[in-house]
């Protein structure tokens, strides 16, 4: 009974994470109706830095990284926050939230591919079959069931391509961040990575973007979307995810994360009127099957 109670909280935390991260794609689409990607990312991760910073202090996990770690954290911040979010936020200008979520779900596939040359992990025929299945699923969803149309330009958007690039980009970030996760508590590491990544977004919004002029355009609907992205998506969900990962096996957490695009699909159908087609569901099931084969 004690063990069941001990596992209940982390299970609730991972469910919370899945729902919030699934909702972030929809929230980004809503916020894009009022402001540019630069403003969304700058506000989102500014809030995330505050939430994570507060968590680090409340947990007594604060510590200053060594001098030689700052450059590494800066690299992680650029790859995992500034560049990654530039790809996804700009991608969502033309890509559907549903399509985006299913493409992003293939990140474990790219981690497996990257782990082959970098970490010398074997692929094997089962993993290769999983990678192939996931690729077929993505092609079905992006092409709306007609892969040949991608080559004629009748299906697929530039946004789909940007989101697709974000998946291997996050895989690179994941592999590179493993070294620092062994040295720092997860919340502390994410705080510094997010802080430095947010500083990079300042160059984006103030150097090439609109500055703070667009913030006045945000309505209650827009601010609600930004708060979901910042406080929940970039703050509380990260904390809940790593808390759950400390108790639950990674394989079990992975099963829950596979539900994330389903959450996006349902929310996008209700809030954005994006169609929930048989092609999307079939492609999604194929992707999940591929991820299962790669992760097992």
Please give the structure tokens belonging to residue 204: 């984006």
DSSP 8-state symbol, 216: G
Please give the structure tokens belonging to residue 32: 């894009």
Rounded to an integer, what distance in angstroms lies between the CA atom of residue 206 and that of residue 209?
A: 5
Average pLDDT over residues 103-113: 84
Look up the pTM and report it: 0.88
pLDDT digits (tens, 9 = 90+) for 176-191: 887 777 788 888 889 9
Average pLDDT over residues 59-77: 90
Average pLDDT over residues 112-119: 76
Of 37-46, 115-124, 225-234, 271-280, least confident by mean pLDDT is: 115-124
pLDDT digits (tens, 9 = 90+) for 123-169: 788 888 888 888 888 888 888 777 766 665 566 788 999 999 999 99
Question: Pick from 82, 84, 21: which is nearest to 233 by CA?
Answer: 21
Band of residue 209 on the pLDDT scale cut at 50, 70, 90: confident
Q: Which residues of 112-149 are buried (b: 16+ CB within 10 A; e: fewer)?
A: bbbbeeeeeeeeeeebeebbebbebbbbbbbbbbeeee
How many helices (H) does the chain have, and how many strands (E)? 15, 0
Distance from chain centroid for Cα 68: 28
Q: Give the pLDDT confidence score for residue 295 in this predicted structure.
A: 72
């Amino acid at each position: 009974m004690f063990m069941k109670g001990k596992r209940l909280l982390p299970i609730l935390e991972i469910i919370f994470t899945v729902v919030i991260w699934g909702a972030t794609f929809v929230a980004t689409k809503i916020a894009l109706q009022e402001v540019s990607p630069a403003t969304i990312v700058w506000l989102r991760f500014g809030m995330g830095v505050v939430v994570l910073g507060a968590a680090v202090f409340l947990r007594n996990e604060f510590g200053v990284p060594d001098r030689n770690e700052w450059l590494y954290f800066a690299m992680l911040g650029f790859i995992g926050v500034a560049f990654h979010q530039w790809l996804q936020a700009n991608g969502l200008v033309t890509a559907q939230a549903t399509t985006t979520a299913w493409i992003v779900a293939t990140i474990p596939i790219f981690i497996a591919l990257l782990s082959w040359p970098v970490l010398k992990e074997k692929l094997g025929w089962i993993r290769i079959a999983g990678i192939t299945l996931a690729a077929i699923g993505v092609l079905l969803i992006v092409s709306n069931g007609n892969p040949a149309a991608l080559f004629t330009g009748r299906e697929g958007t530039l946004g789909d391509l940007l989101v697709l690039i974000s998946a291997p980009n996050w895989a690179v970030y994941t592999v590179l961040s493993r070294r620092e996760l062994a040295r720092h508590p997860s919340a502390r590491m994410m705080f510094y990575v997010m802080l430095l990544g947010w500083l990079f977004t300042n160059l984006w919004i103030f150097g090439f973007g609109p500055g703070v002029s667009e913030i006045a355009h945000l309505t209650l609907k827009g601010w609600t979307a930004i708060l979901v992205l910042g406080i929940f998506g970039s703050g509380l969900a990260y904390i809940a995810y790593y808390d759950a990962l400390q108790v639950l096996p990674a394989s079990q957490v992975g099963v829950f994360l596979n539900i994330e695009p389903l959450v996006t699909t349902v929310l996008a159908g209700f809030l954005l009127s994006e169609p929930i087609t048989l092609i999307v569901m079939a492609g999604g099931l194929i992707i999940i099957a591929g991820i299962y084969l790669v992760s097992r």
